[in-house]
Structure 1
Amino acid sequence: MAIVAGSVVVAVLALWIQNAIVPYSKPFWGLFDNQLDLDVYRAGAQTVLDGDKLYDAKLLGQMDYTYTPFSIFGFIPFAWMSMTVARVVWIGGILVALYFTIMISFRSLGRSPTLALRAVAVALVTVMMLLEPVRTTIWYGQINVFLMAIVLADLLRPDGARLRGVATGLTAGIKLTPMLFAVYLLVIRNTRAAVGVVAGFVGSVLLGFAILPSTSWDYWTSKLRDPDRVGTPQTPGNQSIRGLLANLGHTNEPNGLLWILLVLVGFTLGIGAAVVAHRAGQELLALSLVGMTSCAISPMAWGHHWVWFVPLAVVALNWISDAGRSASSRIVVGVMVVGGFLAAFSWRTYLGYATWQFNQTRDDAYLIGLFFKHGSVGWLDWFVWEPYVWVFVVTCVVVLIAGARLRAPAKPAEVQAE
């Protein structure tokens, strides 16, 4: 019961800190307000229901629809709801998906779903909400946590599980970046699951063409090739390698060749570290690294895309709590957890004057994320601009250095048997 009581204290403290960052009751800027992206999803679905052209429409008067035609089928039920109801259902779904992600992550690490573990998982949901990727996923009404939960539920199943990879392919049919998991599966020679990912993706594309043929043709032959539809590269929230080049170089046209070279480096680093983790039996860590890699090498990766910090945190916390690990390694991982948490924390930048935000003048603004602190930290500015890319690099390097030491320590009975 001590663990349950401690979890309650942690949850209450995390919720209090959340309110201290931005009061829940603050109009528009409060955690459960805004929901701009959810409104865009609903507007996109309504555009299709009305028979209009999805990718030519300016949703809500200003926004482009950036996901695939297949994705619209999941948003149609929300178009039938009022925004008030849709908001409650969507936010509730995100919180449930976070809890589910944390629980399946612990279970994949051999933890039994006891009452104590469930209490810890609930507390971790509130703590993870303090991270900018998770907070802004909730605040915008984004889809990232749902996609991550589906991928983990699919790929954490045993290798021979039926239709393993198909659900991941379907998520790629919504947002293309999960296709990187097919590459990872091929590299580790799990061809069956890789084929499942490809099959799920192809199925989503074919379904899109079957139901929305002209819309699908427009997307796959034209709109897909325009990465700037999701935002300009030189944006503080663009936490990708391309964003790093654009923000540090103060340009919206970063050097294309340099970007491609760094993407290849990032891909090699991320997939290489994932393979090392896989060979050491750390599949959750491997999948987290692939998810992070997909963010790093993407042309545009908003901060809220980096929800892969959640399962990564579970891996780290499980390591720290494992008495079989060496004290030195637990300290190193503990330091990394603190550093990563601070890098991804919902740091607030308050603007107490009228500014142009989201195509509207607002009396004040609460900007969330370490990357909004650029220009105020001197020599550390290179890190503050793109903290998530650097967290990714450090994590990959540590995993590559650790190598076989990532393996779970042998239990006493196993040692005796040897």
Structure 2
Amino acid sequence: MRGRLHTLVTRYWRVLVVVSIPLLAFSVWSELLPFLARSKGGGFHVGGDFDVYRWAVHTWLEGGNTVENWAPMRNGEILPWVYPPFGVLPLTVFALPPTTVGVFLMWAADLAAIGMTLYLVVRYRWPSVGPRGALAVAAVVLPGTLWLEPVYSCFAQGQVNLVLMGLIVADCLVPNPRWPRGMLVGIAAATKLMPAAFLLFFLFRKDFRAAVVSVVTGVVCTLIGFAIDFESSMDYWFNYGPASSVAGHTLDSNQSVMGMVARWGLDPLVQNGIWAAVCLVLTVVLVRTVGRVDASVAMALTGVFTLLVSPTSWSSHWGWFVPGALILLGAAVTARSIARFALVVVIVVAARRIPFTMLAHENVPALLWVPQQLAGNAYVVLSIVLLLLTGWQVSRARPAGRVSEVDVGEQAALSRG
């Protein structure tokens, strides 16, 4: 099976790339275009975060405060700007052009980020297929990712999450990058706080130089944020607190450990205690695992860990399912593991069927409460299971000492090379 797939992607890579073009076009037409809405003045727009980005950039340019004020939406609602003030700078690329142009620029950047992520994972994980084989795999898989809720909802809201994921993947997996490794993670963290957790990726893999570069870059970018908008920066960092307006939100689509626990309606002290205990366990597992698996696995685990421990991880943040599922699928094929393949199927089904909508049904029989919680918090449950299973497998395979570049998905496969 593995040999046939290798032959397919290396010998017929041109055919696969050509075939992927109409598949991508169909996926865009079917899954993305329905989210475009006609603007009153002509053109198109998407709702949600993209409007917040545009509002924040224009408010900053006009001298307003992006932290104290909230962005008015087209439907009459208001939403907060929850990113650091530095974030307005990279988002000007999408916010300054006309809305229609900005939306399509964001979509193009998101597609490029997913494609690059798939390509880099394949190149790192299975180097024997070469650049052409990696291109073929990325081209074929890309259309399918648009059918997953974390991906298409990111497009639907015009979010920048997939672009940030692309920056992180490039920083972690590109061999001998032309930039100082860690710089892209620092920029991503200064734009949106969650990528700062990838400092753990560098620390636990003992790449201390990249860790230092990440911190320095993040600090410099944050200081730039103070320079361009001192008032908003003071409010964001010292008065209100980062993303305080949405931390631990009980909305069903907040697929994080804190979001899950918050929906149980417990006393705040108990709620925070459970969240802290779970996060501590997950941190210990990550510490014991990240340094003993190859970089692609470590990167995917860190991405999933970040979403789990963050107070707020909307379902559209879960783009890390894409590289994680690809790695797991490759491991299933290599090891001929039905269990791994079944887990991939469950992840894909969960990412397609939007299981958290089940939580909207409040009047469920007591016997069905646990199944409802397991299914409705599927992103959280599956990710915890995946993280724990990976940690357990690493401990079982290499019980003593730190083993660098161990591939838990392919115990008998080629090493990195």
Q: Deviations over 1:52-80 (max 9, x none)?
A: 11112221251211100111001223332
Query: Is 1:400 aligned with 2:397?
Result: no
Quote how far apart the aligned CAs of 1:319 are.
Answer: 2.2
- Superposed structure 1 runs of 4+ greater than 3 Å apart: 1-20, 22-29, 111-117, 157-162, 248-254, 270-273, 375-379
> Which residue does 1:384 correspond to in 2?
375
Does the CA-based 8 Å contact 1:236-1:371 persist in structure 2?
Answer: yes
Change (3 A) 1:385 1:200: same
Segments of structure 2 that go 5 or more residues without pairing to the other structure are 1-10, 39-43, 398-406
Change (3 A) 1:169 1:134: same
Residue 300 (structure 2) aligned to one of 283, 288, 291:
288
Quote how far apart the aligned CAs of 1:9 are.
Answer: 6.5
Quote how far apart the aligned CAs of 1:92 are.
Answer: 1.3
Query: Is 1:308 aligned with 2:320?
Result: yes
Does the CA-based 8 Å contact 1:14-1:126 persist in structure 2?
Answer: yes
Query: Is 1:163 aligned with 2:163?
Result: no
> Which residue does 2:264 correspond to in 1?
248
Q: Deviations over 1:189-230 (max 9, x none)?
A: 221111111111111111111222222111110232553x13
Q: Deviations over 1:232-256 (max 9, x none)?
A: 6211001011111012347888722
Does the CA-based 8 Å contact 1:248-1:385 persist in structure 2?
Answer: no
Change (3 A) 1:211 1:13: closer
TM, length-normalised to structure 1: 0.81
Counterpart mapping for 1:350-365 below 5 A: none
> Which residue does 2:103 correspond to in 1?
87
> Which residue does 1:34 correspond to in 2?
46
Does the CA-based 8 Å contact 1:271-1:293 persist in structure 2?
Answer: no
Counterpart mapping for 1:31-180 below 5 A: 34-60=46-72, 62-109=78-125, 110-158=127-175, 163-180=180-197
> Which residue does 1:257 correspond to in 2?
273
Change (3 A) 1:254 1:175: farther
Q: How well do the aligned residues superpose, as a CA RMSD in angstroms?
A: 3.1
Segment of structure 1 superposing worse, 262-271 or 68-77: 262-271
Q: Percent identity?
A: 26
Does the CA-based 8 Å contact 1:371-1:386 persist in structure 2?
Answer: yes
Quote how far apart the aligned CAs of 1:126 are.
Answer: 1.3
Quote how far apart the aligned CAs of 1:96 are.
Answer: 1.2
Quote how far apart the aligned CAs of 1:267 are.
Answer: 2.2
Quote how far apart the aligned CAs of 1:125 are.
Answer: 1.3
**Alpha-carbon distance in structure 2 between the residues aligned to 1:195 and 1:25:** 44
Change (3 A) 1:3 1:300: same
Query: Is 1:194 aligned with 2:211?
Result: yes
Query: Is 1:216 aligned with 2:216?
Result: no
**Alpha-carbon distance in structure 1 between the residues aligned to 2:300 and 2:202:** 13
Does the CA-based 8 Å contact 1:240-1:389 persist in structure 2?
Answer: yes
Aligned to 1:230, what secondary structure does the other structure show?
A: coil
Does the CA-based 8 Å contact 2:256-2:380 persist in structure 1?
Answer: yes
> Which residue does 1:351 correspond to in 2?
none
**Alpha-carbon distance in structure 2 between the residues aligned to 1:48 and 1:237:** 29
Segment of structure 1 superposing worse, 49-58 or 371-380: 371-380
Quote how far apart the aligned CAs of 1:266 are.
Answer: 2.5
Aligned to 2:92, what secondary structure does the other structure show?
A: helix
Quote how far apart the aligned CAs of 1:112 are.
Answer: 4.0
TM, length-normalised to structure 2: 0.81
> Which residue does 1:333 correspond to in 2?
340
Residue 412 (structure 2) aligned to one of 392, 409, 412:
409
**Alpha-carbon distance in structure 2 between the residues aligned to 1:14 and 1:380:** 36
**Alpha-carbon distance in structure 1 between the residues aligned to 2:375 and 2:94:** 37
Q: Deviations over 1:291-334 (max 9, x none)?
A: 11111001111011111111112212332343xx3x3xx32221
**Alpha-carbon distance in structure 1 between the residues aligned to 2:89 and 2:286:** 32
Quote how far apart the aligned CAs of 1:36 are.
Answer: 2.2
Change (3 A) 1:287 1:411: closer
Quote how far apart the aligned CAs of 1:380 are.
Answer: 1.7
**Alpha-carbon distance in structure 2 between the residues aligned to 1:331 and 1:249:** 38
Change (3 A) 1:341 1:10: farther
Q: Deviations over 1:2-54 (max 9, x none)?
A: 6665677677678768877x79447659xx96342112101100000111111
**Alpha-carbon distance in structure 1 between the residues aligned to 2:142 and 2:268:** 36
Quote how far apart the aligned CAs of 1:127 are.
Answer: 0.9
**Alpha-carbon distance in structure 2 between the residues aligned to 1:221 and 1:185:** 28
Change (3 A) 1:218 1:411: closer
Change (3 A) 1:319 1:17: same
Does the CA-based 8 Å contact 2:248-2:262 persist in structure 1?
Answer: no
Change (3 A) 1:162 1:339: same
Segments of structure 1 that go 5 or more residues without pairing to the other structure are 348-368
How many residues are aligned here?
378
Q: Which amino acid aligns with 2:56?
A: G
Aligned to 1:200, what secondary structure does the other structure show?
A: helix
> Which residue does 1:373 correspond to in 2?
358
